[in-house]
Chains A and B, each alone.
Chain A
Amino acid sequence: MSSGGHHAHPPKQPDIEDGPYSWHMALTDAVADLLLAKGVITGEELRRTLETIDAATPARGARLVARAWCDPAFRTRLLEDVNAAAAELGIDAGAIPILAVENTPELHNVIVCTLCSCYPRYLLGAAPDWYKSRAYRSRVVREPRAVLAEFGLELPDHVRIEVHDSTAELRYMVLPLRPPGSEGLAEEALAALVTRDCLIGTAVPRVPAES
């Protein structure tokens, strides 16, 4: 490596080792080391599990929604059992049960975990940082319309907002309404309309305006 002056700039942001080694980080490392040392799990199993968790993305939820829009029988099965419906599409949604809550012209659903940050991560991947913030967790229950407006979603007064607080062993995803103007779209194009926030309920799918 060159010791030339222009390589000596300090990094613009700290590297991962530069932060404090917290009590919980130490606990995680110690438990993982013990599980490996005692042969409870192998390093390969640990790596594969972490890769499985990281492979989950909101696109998988979007596929479920698009299929439900196209296939009424699948929609019924999705509302009964998200994990089983996902398995039909070859998607492993994990062992924690997920319930889909369906938007209607009169009802808009929003997901939160006021106590911590429960989220259907085995289906949708890691929750966004704002989902874990105290501001979102407290305000979306107390003033959901104001919070949704900040996300750019203004709902008419006749639409009831139902906030689902994930306080137990069940996780939630929103089944949004198929947007107007999407009648001619194929399933794959429909899935592309369903973003992560649509699955949390802080947005609704929209067909981009023709330019």
Chain B
Amino acid sequence: MTVRPRYRPGQRVRVRRWDPPGHVRTPFYVRGHRGEIVRVIGPMPNPEDLAYGRTDRPPVPVYRVRFRRRELWPEDPRAQEDTVVADLCEHWLEPVGSGS
């Protein structure tokens, strides 16, 4: 089954501020924060299904998303230009308009 990725490299996204029960692989430190799609690396099995043996579910698009320290820790004056890249499943991401 092919899954068409919703986002392209260069697009701005926001990680959902969400705390669902069960096994998830979205680190807390990126939730609610804005980043930029670096690369599409999916589709991959959804860890939230895989952890419970649900291997019949469709794979999901996964993205490398880059965050600036300035966005993640604005209160920390050190090295604000440094960056973190995390690999996130599409259902954790929301589009960000050009104005936000």
Contact = CB atoms under 8 A, between A and B. Distances in A.
Contact of A168 (B29, B78, B82, B89): B89
A141 B62 contact: no
18 contacts: A141-B29, A142-B73, A143-B78, A144-B82, A145-B78, A145-B82, A160-B83, A161-B79, A162-B66, A162-B82, A162-B84, A163-B82, A164-B84, A166-B87, A168-B44, A168-B87, A168-B89, A170-B87
B25 interface: yes
A168 B90 CA distance: 12
A103 interface: no
A165 B82 contact: no
B5 to A, nearest CB: 14
Given A115-B25, A115-B27, A168-B89, A145 B41 contact: no
Contacts of B79: 144-145, 157, 161
Interface residues of A, number: 20
A170 B86 CA distance: 10
B45 interface: yes
B88 interface: yes
A82 to B, nearest CB: 13
A104 interface: no
B26 interface: yes
A202 interface: no
A83 interface: no
B78 A165 contact: no
B56 interface: no
Nearest to A157: B79
Contacts of B84: 141, 162-165
Contacts of B44: 168-169
A157 B82 CA distance: 10
A162 B67 CA distance: 9
Nearest to A145: B79
Contact of B45 (A157, A164, A165, A169): A169
B31 to A, nearest CB: 12
